[in-house]
């Protein structure tokens, strides 16, 4: 991607207002790409439009994951599934700020035991 080398370090020190503005820009960018007003190769960030919207609804508008799930993932029948998808979408964007709860980095090959059945 076209990120400066210090972009990752800069995200760690951003204020909440700066993060919100950054996510709002990514949302406008994704909407412009969907409308054909902007080329796809020029986008920044790794998440998709729904992920950014879920993060913004939770962080800026302080909505619960249950409400976000009903708004963005109403195509899922189960309320628990909607809530889980909203939580995961939020976590995708948190991962871009290096604060996600889920593991994203694979172990180096040297740390995998030789007795691992998946080798």
Instruction: Please determine, for residue 17, whether its predicted confidence score (pLDDT) is greater than 80.
Output: yes
**Domain assignment of residue 114, yes or no:** no
Give the confidence band of 15 by pLDDT, cuts at 50, 70, 90.
very high
Measured CA to CA, the distance from residue 79 to residue 68 in angstroms comes to 11
Helix (H, G, I), strand (E, B) or coil at 114: coil
**Domain assignment of residue 108, yes or no:** no
**Domain assignment of residue 51, yes or no:** yes
Q: What is the pLDDT of residue 86?
A: 96
Q: What is the pLDDT of residue 76?
A: 87
Rounded alpha-carbon distances, angstroms, from residue 19 to 1, 70, 92, 99: 19, 24, 14, 12
**Domain assignment of residue 1, yes or no:** no
Q: What is the pLDDT of residue 50?
A: 96
Q: Containing domain of residue 41, as a range?
A: 15-100
Number of compact structural domains in the chain: 1
**Domain assignment of residue 86, yes or no:** yes
- Counting Cβ atoms within 10 Å, is residue 98 exposed (0-12), middle (13-18) or buried (19+)? exposed
**Structure token pair of residue 86:** 């909203």
Q: What is the pLDDT of residue 69?
A: 96
**Domain assignment of residue 56, yes or no:** yes
Q: What is the pLDDT of residue 97?
A: 86
Helix (H, G, I), strand (E, B) or coil at 70: helix
Give the confidence band of 10 by pLDDT, cuts at 50, 70, 90.
low
Instruction: Please determine, for residue 19, whether its predicted confidence score (pLDDT) is greater than 50.
Output: yes
Q: What is the pLDDT of residue 1?
A: 41
- 51-90 pLDDT, tens digit each: 999 999 999 999 999 999 999 999 988 989 999 999 999 9
> How many residues does this entry show for the chain?
119
Measured CA to CA, the distance from residue 6 to residue 80 in angstroms comes to 38
């Amino acid at each position: 991607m076209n990120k400066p080398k210090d972009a990752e370090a800069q995200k760690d020190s951003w204020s909440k207002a700066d993060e919100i503005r950054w996510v709002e820009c990514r949302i406008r960018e994704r909407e412009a790409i969907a409308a054909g007003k902007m080329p796809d190769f020029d986008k920044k960030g790794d998440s998709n439009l729904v992920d950014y919207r879920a993060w913004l609804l939770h962080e800026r508008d302080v909505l619960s994951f249950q409400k976000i799930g009903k708004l963005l993932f109403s195509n899922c029948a189960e309320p628990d599934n909607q809530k889980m998808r909203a939580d995961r979408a939020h976590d995708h964007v948190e991962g871009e700020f290096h604060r996600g709860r889920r593991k994203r980095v694979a172990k180096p090959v040297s740390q995998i035991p030789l007795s691992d059945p998946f080798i």
